[in-house]
Amino acid sequence: MADRYLSFTATAPGRLLTRRLGLPQPAALSRWSSEHPCLPGDLLHLTAGETEVSDLAPVLARTGLPLAAPAGGPAGGPGDAPVAAVVLDATGVQDVDTLAEVHAALHPVVRSVAASGRIVVLGSPLDAGADHHRAAAQQALEGFVRSLGKEIGRGRTVNLLRLTDAVAAESTLRFLLSPKSAYVSGQVIAATAAGSDTPADPSLPLAGRTALVTGGARGIGEAVARTLARDGAHVVVLDVPQAQDDARRLAGQLGGAAIALDITAADAGERIAAELPDGLDVLIHNAGITRDRRLVNMPAERWSSVLDVNLASVLRTTDALFAKGALRRGGRIVATASIAGLAGNAGQTNYGASKAGIAGLVRSLAPRALAEHGVTVNAVAPGFIETKMTAAVPLFIREAGRRMNSLAQGGLPVDVAETTAWLAHPASGAVNGQVVRVCGQSLLGA
């Protein structure tokens, strides 16, 4: 459904009226396309404290964004022209004094970040045994990033990336500094594991890999399937038998395959493994349902059906595929959580429980799956995404959902798909056990 308010605020009368009334002023987001694969403009690299990351400069040079001249340097530096993105290396922030360097570095350049631009702050992993001054300073970066994300406006995003090795985190930096991360803001992402693979063809990173998308025939699942196919994957679209015509049609368009299967069947995992005798590289748990009602009015069937589809089937299928050896080393599992599971939502005790369960699954399984099988496990947690389901929401509730985030608009299915594709990337092995919100920095649970 078209966002008429967003279109209205893009006009001169709309800007004037909303400014005078103090209403949200969303900016149209720049998303990835083959014609515009990179943000327009330069990348400014700044440092607070002494860096603890080697090889950062060459990694930034490979993002596709030309490096901007530093302040006071040749034309093109901050203050002379807008920059597409700013990367602030704060890995060396040790205490309150060096934390002040974060302010000193960004204060003069925030206004220079172009609309739909990016600010990425780099931090060090949090260590419970670290000096408490350092721990306090590094934790402070999270509050700083989330606060800046809420005030920066104009479609710009701010995220914190905790890393130990720039090369291992390269795919994450590329994602955060690209139009593909348009609806990801206010997030804290850790890229600290090992085991990333460099694809032979960067333009087709999933070439030669098989990806299964459950609930893939329509909506967000369809967007995920199309995006993985764009990146070179052989996509298998799995959906319920009632949607098999849509699944087969989509699979035909993508040069993939379709499986008609009720994912809640006790033997679903075994049947998937039998359909894929050569194994699986990417498993996307996207299938899900809602049966909303307040707990006092919720019959047991509404509770159990949601928990069975959204959580129990994910657990059973994942266990079965591991037991059958169907997930190859270097594989990726990406499950779909929700901000309803992280923040709660009235009328969704069943849905919220199921999606919080996904977050628990990811955090528990991720270290073991990597150690025992060489497979990473992560989740995306969408916020308000423009789909047929949200189009059916009553007008005022729908508008509240759209505006209650730092970008003041709903996301698109492709925003979830691009985040999923980043987590499925062969070079994203350093990202494991993460639940990444794709919500425009929703105010819910923030």
The answer to whether 348 touches 298, Cβ cutoff 8 Å, is: no
Q: Which residue has the tokens 């069947």?
A: 265
Which is catalytic among the residues 303, 351, 384, 422?
Answer: 351
> Whole-angstrom Cα distance, residue 190 to residue 172?
9
Cβ burial 159-183 (10 Å sphere, 16+ → b, else e): bbbbbbbbbbbbbbbbbbbbbbbbb
Concatenated DSSP letters of 188-234: EEEE--------SSTTSTTTT-EEEEET-SSHHHHHHHHHHHHTT-E
The answer to whether 391 touches 200, Cβ cutoff 8 Å, is: no
- Return the structure tokens found at 340: 């309803």
Q: What share of residues in the chain are helix, strand, coil (percent, to 5)?
A: 40, 20, 40
The answer to whether 185 touches 406, Cβ cutoff 8 Å, is: yes
CA separation (Å) from 282 to 223, 236, 326? Answer: 15, 10, 10
CA separation (Å) from 29 to 112, 183, 228? Answer: 17, 8, 22
183 is catalytic: no
The answer to whether 177 touches 85, Cβ cutoff 8 Å, is: yes
> Whole-angstrom Cα distance, residue 181 to residue 21?
30
Concatenated DSSP letters of 52-75: --SSHHHHHHTTSPPBPPPTTSST
Enzyme catalytic residues: 351
